[in-house]
Each structure stands twice: as C-alpha cells, then as structure tokens.
Amino acid sequence: MAPKKLYIKTYGCQMNVYDSERMAEAMGGEGYETTARPEDADMILLNTCHIREKAAEKVYSELGRYKGLKANKPDLKIGVAGCVAQAEGAEIMRRQPMVDLVVGPQSYHRLPDLLSRTHNGAKALDTDFPEEDKFDHLKARPKAKRGPTAFLTVQEGCDKFCAFCVVPYTRGAEVSRPADRVLTEARDLVERGVREITLLGQNVNAYHGHEGGLAGLIRALAEIDGLARIRFTTSHPNDMDDALIAAHGDCDKLMPYLHLPVQAGSDKILKRMNRSHTAEDYLRLIERLRATRPDLHLSGDFIVGFPEETEEDFQATMDLIAAVEYGSAFSFKYSERPGTPAAERPQVPEDEKDDRLQRLQALLTTQQRRLQDAMVGRDVHVMFEKPGRMPGQMVGKSEYLHAVHVESDAFSPGDIARIRIVSSGPNSLKGVVAPR
C-alpha cells in the first residue's frame, strides 16, 4: 500500500522547526511520508507561533485556503498544532469546522492517537500540559542521513512572565530535558552526518538538566567525536551565569556568536516589561562576555512602541544599540497579546511605532553592514551546507553565523575549511580558499 502524505507548514522560531521534525517522525511511524505540496497531502498540519502580530488571524487565513482541498478530498485530515493551538483551543474548530484536530506544543507526542480519533467526522483536541515528558513518548529518530546542521531542543517554557509575552501561557513553566537524553539524541544526530548542533529553548540558558547547567551540557557535548560546532538560542540576560560566560572563552566548539535579547534600553520600559534587569546590567554583561571572547558577535531582539514608551525612552534604546554594536538583530513594533499585562495599558500610536521602527532598523542595518565589511581580508572557518545557486559554488556559515559563498567544487556538505573573505554583500560574504 502506498504511504500516505503529510504536509507540514511551520511558523515562527527554530523550536517550531524542531517540533515539526519530531511530529513528522511521529507520523512516519503511522505510515506517513512528508510532501512539499498540500495538494498531494492526506494530512495537513499547521505548526503555529503566537509571537508575531495577528498570528491567529494568519492561521485562520491559511486554513481558508484549504477549503477547496477538503471539499474535493473528504478524507483529508487537517490539524493545527503549536502555540496558536494552545491559545485558541476549541475556538479554532468553531471558526473553521473543517479542522479535525488541535494539539498544543506539549502534547504533540499524542498526535497519532489524536488522528485515530478523527474517523467518522469526530474531532480531537488536546491542549493539556501533561505530566509525562513528551520526549519520552516520541519514537526514536530514524537513522536516515541528514544535513550537517540540526536543532536540538533542551529546554521548554519560561518563568519570566515578560509583560508582552504569551510563551508562559502557551508553552508552560520552564522544563529541562535530562542531560543523558540530550546527549543520546546528539550522538544519534552526529552518527547521521550532523556536525553542528544548535541547542534550543525558550530560555535556553536557564537549562538545569545537567549539574553544570547549560555550560556543563555544552562541555559534555563537546566530548562527542564528530561534533564540530555548538550554538544555543534564545537566552535571557538574567541567566547568563559565570560558567556560561567562561565557556565562551575556553570551549573551542562553542561558536563566537550569541543571541542575547534585551528588548529596550530604557530602564522605565524594561521595568514595565518585567525584564528584571537594567540597561546598565545588560551593558556590563556584554563587557564581561567580550572580555572573555573579544571576537564575539552579538545578536539581539528589540520591541519599539511598547505601551507608554516616550521619545526619550526610545532614544535610550538607540543609545544602547550604539554602545553594543550588533552583528544582527530582530526588531518589531509592539502588538497586543490578549491576556498579557501590557495589552491593557495605554498604547503608542501606530505612526509613532512605524517611525521609531524605521529609525531603529536603519541603525541596526548600518551596524550590520559595518561589521560585515570589516570581515573582508579576514580568514574564517566555514562549514559548508549546500551547493550555491551558481554551478561550482558552495554556501556555508562562518563561526560568526555569516553566510559565505565560495566558488569551489572541492567541498561537500559538512566540510569545514579556512576561507579568506574577499567581498561583502548586503546579506552574505564571498570568500576564497585561504592560502596555506
């Protein structure tokens, strides 16, 4: 019998990418193969994110596109997973009756069982925060060969309760996976060809599944033969402890790139965000990190137009950005999330948000280009990931996470080579093999 086809559309962060992989693996045990075309699918699954503006409405709009498919193929199953599923629950089925199942991000290990309940037009809903560890109930990852990079979730949930964020409500309290299970999964990935692993968590540096915290886990991972590179994201400044700072200086496999969101540079706004640190705390932390690893490239997150933000508050954010010099960053206009404290406060007019976002992004773009241009003439170590668009070209990432193009057919995915950067483009670098 021909295998059934599963189409998964993933929204949002790297953790959702990882979750989608695990859901596909869970359904693979039920005889499903993934497809890139919803038209070919026997099951469509939207793995959703609730962080961005109008996230739920975008999901409903996407579901609307599948009405014709459902009408022509009555046996087609449609599911919604992830954080919008957790937040909206049965409301999704009420607004879109064609949806067969809804499953939250902590319950997707139950996906095959939920699907089995949807025969004869029945609906299945599971947005619990189960006591059992979902990772214990997922099938072992298949042994198929894979690309040189992989995500690996080690921590979920958040206890920080930032005033703008829904994660504590959709992902639950902070939970860390035991180190032995993380190491087993990492070894399995390396056996299948992975050379770089990015450790994931909503607040990854709050990881406590190893007696040495995240730094201890990183050092244990560094002992795995064949694993060449380790990264982690996303971090909270309050959990960047001494051991993790030290690891950036003496763990060769930990790459010199750190995503460390601050969100704002005004102490007044940071307090209203419930960030529990000041701008000065953040800047002193950056100084310590750079003293440990002088070539560290930093990335951040910024929200403009947070409720009650004045022009003076915004300028404090611009001053912080100027002081730090970011290699990359993500910036957004504040948008209300129902149920969060900030949604009930006086809002900044949209035109002011737009103006501030444009100015902030212009400064970030200038910094990014300046740092990229400064790479010209330097040697970096590039891990190649795939062929480029042009024949004879390979594309990879430097230790600083820059995309690097090299015109050479001497490399395969997973190879690491010393490359001399010869030019800088808007979003990538071009290099040649460095002379010996």
Binding annotation for [4Fe-4S] cluster = 13, 49, 83, 158, 162, 165
DSSP state of 254: B
Q: Which residues in 83-137 belong to E strands, given as ranges?
A: 101-103, 124-126
* Distance between start and end Cα atoms, the chain: 56
Nearest to residue 300, comparing CAs of 318, 276, 273?
A: 318
Only one residue has tokens 């992830």, namely 82
Task: Name the token pair of 392.
Answer: 């004879």
Distance CA 411, CA 392 (A): 10
Distance CA 131, CA 175 (A): 11
Handedness of CA 175, 180, 181, 187 (dihedral sign): positive
Angle made by CA atoms 365, 303, 161, in degrees to the nearest 5:
140
Q: What is the CA radius of gyration of the chain?
A: 23
Binding-site residues, in ranges, read 13, 49, 83, 158, 162, 165
Distance CA 238, CA 406 (A): 39
Q: List phi, psi (to 5°) of 220.
A: -70, -40
Residue 231 CB partners (closer than 8 Å, separation 6+): 196, 197, 198, 199, 254, 255, 257, 401
Residue 163 CB partners (closer than 8 Å, separation 6+): 272, 273, 274, 340, 341, 342
Which amino acid, one-letter code, is at 97?
A: P
Distance CA 64, CA 58 (A): 10
Q: At what angle do helices 242-250 and 279-292 cross, to 10 degrees?
A: 30
Residue 221 CB partners (closer than 8 Å, separation 6+): 182, 183, 186, 197, 199, 227, 230, 253
DSSP state of 210: S
Q: Largest Cα–Cα distance of the chain, in whole Å?
A: 68
Distance CA 362, CA 346 (A): 27
Angle made by CA atoms 163, 175, 204, in degrees to the nearest 5:
70
Residue 15 CB partners (closer than 8 Å, separation 6+): 151, 153, 156, 200, 201, 202
